[in-house]
């Protein structure tokens, strides 16, 4: 098995920034501020749920 490639320093910094901003929303339980992190057509599913299509259906059926 080969090692995974490493991201460039610029991409790594961008990803870490994204994670920091998302984590701040999670810690603050600020769902509205977290909406821009999710694509409008996101799919969500779970063990006891059907597949939910779209961010708003996912939000409304939590």
Which pLDDT does position 55 carry in this prediction?
Answer: 86
Q: DSSP for the chain?
A: -PPPPPPPHHHHHHHHHHHHHHHHHHHHT-HHHHGGGS-TT-EEEETTEEEEESHHHHHHT-
User: pLDDT of the chain along its 62 residues, tens only?
Assistant: 789 999 999 999 999 999 999 999 999 999 899 989 988 898 888 877 788 888 888 788 87
Q: For 18-55, give one letter per residue: b (16+ CB within 10 A) or e.
A: eeeeeeebeeeeeeeeeeeeeeeeeebeeeeeeebeeb
pTM for this structure? 0.66
Rounded Cα distance between 55 and 60, Å, is 9
- Domain residue spans in the chain? 9-60
Which pLDDT does position 8 carry in this prediction?
Answer: 97
């Amino acid at each position: 098995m080969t090692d995974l490639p490493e991201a460039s320093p610029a991409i790594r910094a961008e990803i870490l920034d994204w994670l920091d901003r998302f984590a701040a929303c999670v810690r603050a339980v600020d769902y509205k501020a977290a909406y821009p992190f999710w694509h409008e057509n996101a799919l969500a599913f779970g063990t006891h749920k059907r597949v939910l299509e779209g961010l708003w259906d996912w939000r409304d059926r939590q």
